Amino acid sequence: MKLFCFYCYLYCLCSLHILFICALQYIELHSFIVSIHIMRSKNANKASDYHDAGKSSQDVEGSSRPTEDIPASPKLSADERKIGRGPKKSKVKVEYTEDGGEVVELDRGYKLNCRPEALINLLNSIKKNENKVKAIKEIGFGGLLSVRLHEVNTRLVPWLLQHFNCVGHMLQFGETQNVQLYDYDVYDVFGLPWNKDFDVQETPRKRVEGDANHEMIQRWNEKFHKKPTVQAPTLTELESFLKTDECGDDFKRAFVVYVLGVFLAPTSNRLLDIKVLKAVEDVSQIVKQNWCKYVLNQLGFAVERWRASVKNDKVGGCVLFLEIIYLQRSLFRGVVPPKEISLVQHWNDEQVTERLVSEENMGFG
C-alpha cells in the first residue's frame, strides 16, 4: 500500500512538472508575439531622414502596414492608365460644432485651385531654352523642373482635406499617429529656397499713390499694357510672357509670381497676386527668402478658409504637397519610397494611381 502511494506521489509530481513546462512555453510564445507587435509599432513611428548635410526630420514617419494578408493590386482601366486619374469624388465629410455644442457632420464640396498641369505645360515650353532653365535654377526654383504629376489624385483628396490640421500643420493618421509638417518638409518635396531667417516680404495692403509700392505695381501694369484703373495682369498673360524669348530679371520675377498663382500658393482669383510683388522686386533676394514657410502657411490659411465657409467650395493652397507627404510617409506593402530631394520627382500620375487603387481597398492612412 505504501509503495502504491509512493508511485501516485511521483505521478503527480511529473504531471505538475509537465504543466509547469507548458506554462513557461506559453508565456515565452506570448512574449515573442508581443515583442513583434512592439517592433512593428516602433518601425511605424521612425523619424524620416530626407535631409542632406545633417538636416534630419524629427516628426513621425506615419503608419506602415505589415505585408501579409494584403490583396493583390486591382488592374487599372485603360482610361486610368492614360493620365493616372481615379474616379472623381466631389464631397468631403467635415465635422462642425453648432452653437449649442452639438457636433454635426456635413458633406462639403470642393474644387482645387492647385493646377500642376498648368505648371507642367509651361515647363515643357521653358525646358527648350537652356537660358530659361538656368535662370530658374539661379533663383532657387529648379526643383519644380522635375514635377511630373498633372493633378492631385482625386481618390486621395477627400482623405487629405479631412485629416489635415490646417492650424497646427499636421496630417492626422489616427488618434495617436500624426505627421507634423514644417517648412523644411516643403523643401524636401520641392527643393524651394529655405532661409529660416528671412521670411517672404509681402506687399503692404495699404498703398499710397506715388510711394514705392504703388510705383512697383504700376510697372507691372505697364509691362502688360494695363491701364492704371483696370485689374492686375492675369496669370494667362504672365504665361504668354514667360513663353517669349525673355530670360532676364523680368522672366525670373514673372516665373515666381506665376508658379505661386497656379501651383504653390494658388487662389480662386486667376489674376497676378499683388502681395508677392515686393518679394520678387529685387531679383537677387528671391533665393534668400523662406519660400517653403510661405507655401506651407498659405496652404494652412486656404484650407482653414474653405472649412470656415460652408458656401465656399474653392480650396486654395498647394494640396499636391500633402499628397506627396502622404505617399512618402505612409508606407504601403513595406516599400520605402526614394528619398532623394526633391521628393516630387519620384512620382508620376500612373504610379500614384496604382498605389492608391491598391490602398483604397484597405482604407487610406
Exposure letters 114-151 (e unless 16+ CB within 10 A, then b) = bbbbbbbebbeebeeeeebbebbeebbbbbbbebbbbb
Total-model pTM = 0.75
Spacing of C-alpha 221 from chain mean position: 34
Q: Is residue 248 part of a domain?
A: yes
Q: Is residue 194 part of a domain?
A: yes
Query: What secondary structure letter does DSSP report for 95?
Result: E
Q: Is residue 168 part of a domain?
A: yes
Say what percent of the chain tops pLDDT 90: 51
- Give 85-119 pLDDT, tens digit per residue: 434 446 887 877 777 777 788 888 899 999 999 99
The contacts of residue 121 (CB under 8 Å, 6+ apart) are: none
Q: Is residue 35 part of a domain?
A: no
Residue 90: the pLDDT is 63
Residue 193: the pLDDT is 97
Q: Is residue 111 part of a domain?
A: yes
User: Does the pLDDT at position 2 exceed 60?
Assistant: no
Give the Cα separation of 62 and 359 in Å (integer). 15
> Does residue 140 or residue 54 have the better pLDDT?
140
Q: Is residue 38 part of a domain?
A: no
Q: Is residue 204 part of a domain?
A: yes
Q: Is residue 26 part of a domain?
A: no
- The set of cell numbers assigned to 185 is 518638409
Give the Cα separation of 291 and 194 in Å (integer). 6
Query: For residue 102, what are the domain limits?
Result: 73-360
Residue 335: the pLDDT is 81
Domain count, the chain: 1
- Give 266-280 pLDDT, tens digit per residue: 988 888 899 999 999
